[in-house]
Structure 1
Amino acid sequence: MRNEAKTTVGPATALVDTPPTRSFRASPAMWLAMIGISTAVCAVAIMIGTHKFHLGPAAIVLMPILWTVLIGGFLGVQKWKPIGGRARAVSTHLMDVSIVFFLAGLGTQIGPSLTKFTNIGPAILLQEVGHVVGTVILALPVAVALGLGRTSIGATWSIDRESYLAFAIQRFGVRSPEYRGVFAVWVLGSVFGAVFISLLAGLLGGLDFFDPRALALGLGLGSASMMLGGVGALSILYPEMAGEIMALAALSNLVTNIVGFYAGVFIALPMCQKLYKMWSRLFGRDDLGRRVRRGSLVGAGGTVAGTSGQARTSGALSESDESPDIEAVDVNGIEADPTVVRSRRTWLIAFAATGGAGILLNALGTGSARPLDVVGVLILLALTAVALVLAKLVPAVPSSIWVLALATIASATFFPFGPFIASTTQNINVLFAGLPMIALIGMSLGRDVKALRSLSWKIVIVALMTFTASFIAAAVIAQVALNF
């Protein structure tokens, strides 16, 4: 662990480290700095707004979530007044609550739509299989062959949208190679995903091989921006079917948002972890992506020998291991931050900051503020608290799973309190209320930037493979189902 000398930088002094200790108590100034800066970043991003540009059949959509990534990321990597390890530790504490709060909001959007499943055909349901297995089957071997190591798992078990990013933080931790794979694909998807999918949809649609309805179903990737980009391209190619294409893509996206997360967590991720071991042995790669002798790879135990001859165990592939070992952290260039002492007071601060920022940013983004929205935010915070407690009592199930399930069930209209919870949260746009999570992640980028740079062009290729595989595999399965 490196030592950082204290630097006097005026009002931003709280953001610069004194020599780190293993754990510390954050000052009120540091809490206020991280809460204030992250909220301000989100407010600026919302005020910049959404801008859409057309490039032939492609649609380029620039949204607040992208501005938040860029501004937060800039603050995280700039050297003028750097955000140090202690500030990032406070950010992590805030992020733990913000992530679960975001997923609670997502769950309350899903619950009221559960009844729509009664009219969903087999093609819409079966295409989800393509999203689940397409990335793992097609993109994973490419990632391993390129030498991404365990980063391959995070980069290819899904297209890594917001809910998967939240789960990866909960499941693997922000210092793990798996998380960096998820984060890198998420960033690339946020920046280039809509453009790439719109170009790909236009290319496939122009081939006259796929039924336009199958391509529309394949656009249910779990990303609204990617879906809209693809819909725009297909609508230009098939103007007479524009309404049907939009309806099918939206319905498919709804299915992905409801069941895709669970399918990814319980089917795609375990499958990806097992196949990763097989491809690593086949290509002669260790967990860091380095080439090793075939005889050095021990298949049964998951132990991989590096080029130095020292064996290391890929423990992050075990369901019981939540974080990478110190050696993996150091080799991959991730700084070991100190940890903030967590107490009842710090949890109250984190919950208050999350709720307050959620109310403010939702009002700013939607242009409306209702007293009922405050009740909705309090309900989301209550669901967040329950999920965190349950995750502590049952460590095998992370809070991200608990809260999404609880919020979905609680807001389902066929349960007694479902209509009330749905009515109190219907005006809460989770992409605004949960935006501080994105800002905090971006502001922590200074810790990960060395590792992301080391991935270079390889992660770009794998990300594009992941998007392509998910879309095409889902479209093929939908095509078969429609013609069955």
Structure 2
Amino acid sequence: MRNEAKTTGGTASVLVDAVPSHTFRARPALWFAMIALSTAVCAAAIMIGTHKFHLGPAAIVLMPILWTVLIGGFLGVQRWKPIGGRARAVSTHLMDVSIVFFLAGLGTQIGPSLTKFTNIGPAILLQEVGHVVGTVILALPVAVALGLGRTAIGATWSIDRESYLAFAIQRFGVRSPEYRGVFAVWVLGSVFGAVFISLLAGLLGGLDFFDPRALALGLGLGSASMMLGGVGALSILYPEMAGEIMALAALSNLVTNIVGFYAGVFIALPMCQKLYTMWSRIFGRDDLGRRVRGGALLGSAAGSKPAHARSGAAAVEADEPAVTDTVDVNGIEADPSVLRSPKTWLTAFAATGVAGILLNTLGTGSMRPQDVVGVTILLVLTAIALVLAKLVPAVPSSIWVLALATIASATFLPIGPFIASTTQNINVLFAGLPMIALIGMSLGRDVKALRSLSWKIIIVALMTFTASFVAAAVIAQVAFHF
């Protein structure tokens, strides 16, 4: 059945999507269930807390974001009371708001630090070139040769941290092979990234070939946990330089978070897509990673017919009419779409704001009246970005919101200090945690495709991390000594 949505004037009407087939109107009980469940998962993860273990010079850091992935992922794949297509459709709607909200919070953390660029030398700026070269030039051909297909693009255009994951959902959609590559590398980085980089940094630091400062700059990968893991290893090897190593790594990580995202979106991704076509022809692979004669791309991912799978509603939504699911050639279930209206958008915004305040209070152990104002500002920036993305489809909301939030919180603007002060106590990794929970709870749709990647994605992920770190360190080494 096809439902028709009536749009009204104002901002909300701009956000109402055209109604596709297989669209349904979600009941309030389903909205409440998904909002409550995702918030509860985040609260449990925060209460478990952060735990750090030392393995020689390496350190394993287990943070709330990891517990959220594990708990949400378990709920997403378990079969006792599965989360079905309709529940995942509601999660996707909530995710569309929570992702942009998360990036808004990230932008307000970056804006107040923009003035630090006045003292940044060429070495710290050039290391960003190393990240692009390392991932796209070195890791991409390995991924294509292993037969990852278009998943290779998502797995190698960056080291795929939270901002890139959010962009991939906006740019490619959760059913795309590019998103699965980003998601798989993100999960592996969240679980093993810190310990792997700490071991690698310790190994390279012990060779006495690299300047410790170059290695410190190479640690600006855009991941706080990876940076801290590498800093811990280098600080043990060079205790007299521990303070300088930490300062350089943190500043480099700041540059990557500010410049790196834009470099990844506007330089690395287009480059990766073009080189993917070249490497696919050289290795004779199609978009699914299968070998083809003559090295010609078949485009089979787009041309194949979907295979029908089982139908019926999930246990979470047993009272809803059954909706037939389909599974495409990549193993991704085609969920129905929830009817989007001004009311559903307001529900998603309200849920994101309330959950953000509650989780930030739980995680930081404090709540100020300014925090409510700060969350409200982030929601306003989120709404503006979503509207702009509708008006200018070529630029996704993830780009709009990060740019708007960064500029709005810059201290050299009249409103910058006010926005910075109201958002400074908002820890985006707590307030934006529901995005991670919702992604994990939707994992049931992607589990078949992720299993098909098997050991190959592990090799590619480690190659991506290694190439990005080493290439950036080499460029920094050259900049320091020549």
Q: Name the TM-score, length of structure 1 as normaliser.
A: 0.90
| Deviation sequence 1:230-274 (CA, Å, 0-9, x none) | 000000111111111000000000000011000000000000000
Q: Return the offset for 1:294.
A: 1.1
CA–CA separation in structure 1 for the residues paired with 2:409 and 2:227: 25
Aligned 8 A contact 1:194 1:225 in 2? yes
Paired amino acid for 1:246: M
| Deviation sequence 1:319-364 (CA, Å, 0-9, x none) | xxxxxxxxx9711100000000000000000000000000000000
Does the alignment pair 1:468 with 2:466?
yes
Q: Return the offset for 1:133.
A: 2.0
Match of 2:425 in 1: 427
CA–CA separation in structure 2 for the residues paired with 1:339 and 1:236: 52
CA–CA separation in structure 2 for the residues paired with 1:153 and 1:355: 33
Paired amino acid for 2:340: R
CA–CA separation in structure 1 for the residues paired with 2:327 and 2:22: 16
Does the alignment pair 1:92 with 2:84?
no
SS of equivalent to 1:82: coil
Match of 1:390 in 2: 388
Tell me: CA distance 1:76–1:483, structure 2 relative to 1, closer, same or farther (3 Å).
same
CA–CA separation in structure 2 for the residues paired with 1:281 and 1:105: 41
Find 2:372's aligned residue among 359, 371, 374: 374
CA–CA separation in structure 2 for the residues paired with 1:30 and 1:294: 51
Aligned 8 A contact 2:287 2:299 in 1? no
Aligned 8 A contact 1:151 1:177 in 2? yes
SS of equivalent to 1:351: helix
| Deviation sequence 1:266-311 (CA, Å, 0-9, x none) | 000000000000000000000000000016x1xxxxx5266xxx99
Match of 1:108 in 2: 108
1:63-102 to structure 2, matched below 5 A, reads 63-102=63-102
Does the alignment pair 1:304 with 2:298?
yes
RMSD: 1.4
Match of 2:42 in 1: 42
SS of equivalent to 2:52: strand
CA–CA separation in structure 2 for the residues paired with 1:247 and 1:333: 45
Aligned 8 A contact 1:231 1:249 in 2? yes
Aligned 8 A contact 1:390 1:399 in 2? yes
Tell me: CA distance 1:333–1:186, structure 2 relative to 1, closer, same or farther (3 Å).
same
CA–CA separation in structure 1 for the residues paired with 2:388 and 2:376: 18
| Deviation sequence 1:388-410 (CA, Å, 0-9, x none) | 00000000000000000000000
CA–CA separation in structure 2 for the residues paired with 1:410 and 1:219: 28
Paired amino acid for 2:473: A
Match of 1:254 in 2: 254
CA–CA separation in structure 2 for the residues paired with 1:425 and 1:132: 31
Paired amino acid for 1:101: F
Aligned 8 A contact 1:176 1:329 in 2? no
Aligned 8 A contact 1:292 1:305 in 2? no
Match of 1:170 in 2: 170
SS of equivalent to 1:53: strand
| Deviation sequence 1:143-165 (CA, Å, 0-9, x none) | 00000000000000000000000
1:134-149 to structure 2, matched below 5 A, reads 134-149=134-149
CA–CA separation in structure 2 for the residues paired with 1:329 and 1:240: 57
Q: Name the TM-score, length of structure 2 as normaliser.
A: 0.90
1:190-205 to structure 2, matched below 5 A, reads 190-205=190-205
Paired amino acid for 2:87: A
1:7-406 to structure 2, matched below 5 A, reads 22-294=22-294, 297=296, 303-304=297-298, 312=303, 330-406=328-404
Paired amino acid for 1:35: I
Match of 2:9 in 1: none
| Deviation sequence 1:13-55 (CA, Å, 0-9, x none) | xxxxxxxx70100011100000000000000000000000000
| Structure 1 moving runs of 4+ over 4 Å | 310-313
CA–CA separation in structure 1 for the residues paired with 2:448 and 2:327: 12
| Deviation sequence 1:168-198 (CA, Å, 0-9, x none) | 0000000000000000000000000000000
Aligned 8 A contact 2:165 2:182 in 1? yes
Aligned 8 A contact 1:175 1:329 in 2? no
CA–CA separation in structure 2 for the residues paired with 1:236 and 1:354: 41
Paired amino acid for 1:341: L
Match of 1:322 in 2: none
* Structure 2 portions without partners, runs of 5+: 1-20, 305-325
Aligned 8 A contact 1:375 1:424 in 2? yes
CA–CA separation in structure 2 for the residues paired with 1:134 and 1:199: 18
Match of 2:317 in 1: none
Paired amino acid for 2:385: A
Q: Return the offset for 1:134.
A: 1.1
CA–CA separation in structure 2 for the residues paired with 1:363 and 1:334: 37
CA–CA separation in structure 2 for the residues paired with 1:22 and 1:166: 25
Aligned 8 A contact 1:35 1:353 in 2? yes
**How many pairs are equivalent?**
442
SS of equivalent to 1:470: helix
Match of 2:446 in 1: 448
* Structure 1 portions without partners, runs of 5+: 1-20, 298-302, 314-327
CA–CA separation in structure 2 for the residues paired with 1:237 and 1:311: 51
Match of 1:11 in 2: none
Tell me: CA distance 1:245–1:305, structure 2 relative to 1, closer, same or farther (3 Å).
closer
Match of 1:479 in 2: 477
Q: Return the offset for 1:132.
A: 1.7
CA–CA separation in structure 2 for the residues paired with 1:213 and 1:312: 50
CA–CA separation in structure 2 for the residues paired with 1:334 and 1:407: 34
Q: Return the offset for 1:450.
A: 0.3
SS of equivalent to 1:331: coil
Aligned 8 A contact 2:45 2:64 in 1? yes
